């Protein structure tokens, strides 16, 4: 009997980890949307060769409309996140242009919410992806939601990207020494610019325990220091930011 029962999120992430195909990823994305109690949850992946697919809960009518209008060229979320390496609240993006405002109006008419939070993801060999949560609420409620769920959303983004990389054709074999989920969490937050105290607080662990995770990851990666450990983890696709 387990002393520490798995949380609902842990069970969903395990489900995602064992997803055999994109259809299974889609089913899990719907359950994750319900878990976070948001309007939409989406993962969009582009391989190094330019192939792309996604899963999520946007209305298929909106997805088809988006592609027909070639909104990829003007979407402030895509344009803004491609230039960033850290999670992005849509409120911080540039919506001032006429085309961007028209795009937002069209998106709202097609059922998207007025709030969004996207995690840019990068993998080996030029792979790029976005994990996005979208909802309709006021700014205060959205700030509370992000503060409460930031770490879990980053973790979900990582799991989606790891699964997508498994489906990428001609993917190189994974490194034999895999990082533990806690080591991934620690290095990911450090890569995002968190200080050690912030990382420990975010993960609800002591700084001593955090040092254990970091040193373990450093040993597995053959890194001489924490900076090199983070760099190696990113370059090998073990963490995504």
What do you get for the CA distance between the two ends of the chain, in Å? 35
Instruction: Give the per-residue pLDDT at 169.
Output: 56
All domains of the chain in start order, with CATH? 8-167 (3.30.450.80), 181-235 (1.10.10.10)
Cα 64 to its chain centre, rounded Å, is 23
Instruction: Give the per-residue pLDDT at 122.
Output: 75
Round to whole Å and give the CA distance between 209 and 203.
Answer: 10
Residue with tokens 């609902």: 8
Instruction: Give the per-residue pLDDT at 173.
Output: 47
**Counts for the chain of helices (H) and strands (E), in that order:** 10, 5
Instruction: Give the per-residue pLDDT at 181.
Output: 85
40: tokens are: 């939409």
pTM of the model: 0.71
pLDDT digits (tens, 9 = 90+) for 53-99: 789 999 999 999 998 998 988 999 988 888 777 889 999 999 999 99
What Rg value do the Cα atoms of the chain yield, rounded?
A: 18
Give the residue ranges of the chain where pLDDT is below 70.
Answer: 1-5, 47-52, 123-126, 168-177, 241
């Amino acid at each position: 009997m387990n002393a520490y029962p798995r949380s609902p999120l842990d069970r969903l992430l395990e489900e995602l980890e064992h997803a055999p195909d994109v259809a299974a990823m889609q089913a899990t994305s719907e359950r994750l949307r319900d878990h976070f109690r948001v309007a939409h949850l989406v993962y969009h992946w582009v391989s190094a060769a330019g192939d792309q697919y996604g899963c999520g809960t946007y209305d298929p009518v909106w997805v088809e409309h988006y592609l027909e209008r070639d909104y990829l060229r003007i979407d402030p979320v895509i344009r803004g996140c491609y230039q960033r390496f850290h999670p992005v609240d849509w409120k911080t993006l540039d919506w001032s242009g006429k085309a961007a405002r028209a795009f937002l109006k069209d998106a709202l008419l097609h059922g998207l919410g007025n709030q969004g939070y996207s995690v840019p993801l990068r993998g080996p060999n030029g792979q790029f992806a976005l994990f996005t949560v979208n909802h309709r609420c006021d700014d205060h409620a959205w700030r509370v939601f992000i503060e409460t769920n930031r770490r879990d959303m980053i973790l979900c983004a990582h799991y989606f990207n790891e699964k997508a990389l498994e489906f990428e054709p001609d993917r190189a074999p994974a490194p034999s020494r895999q990082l533990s989920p806690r080591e991934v969490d620690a290095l990911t937050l450090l890569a995002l610019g968190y200080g050690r105290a912030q990382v420990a607080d975010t993960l609800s662990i002591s700084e001593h325990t955090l040092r254990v995770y970091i040193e373990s990851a450093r040993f597995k990666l053959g890194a001489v220091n924490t900076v090199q450990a983070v760099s190696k983890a990113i370059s090998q696709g073990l963490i995504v930011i």
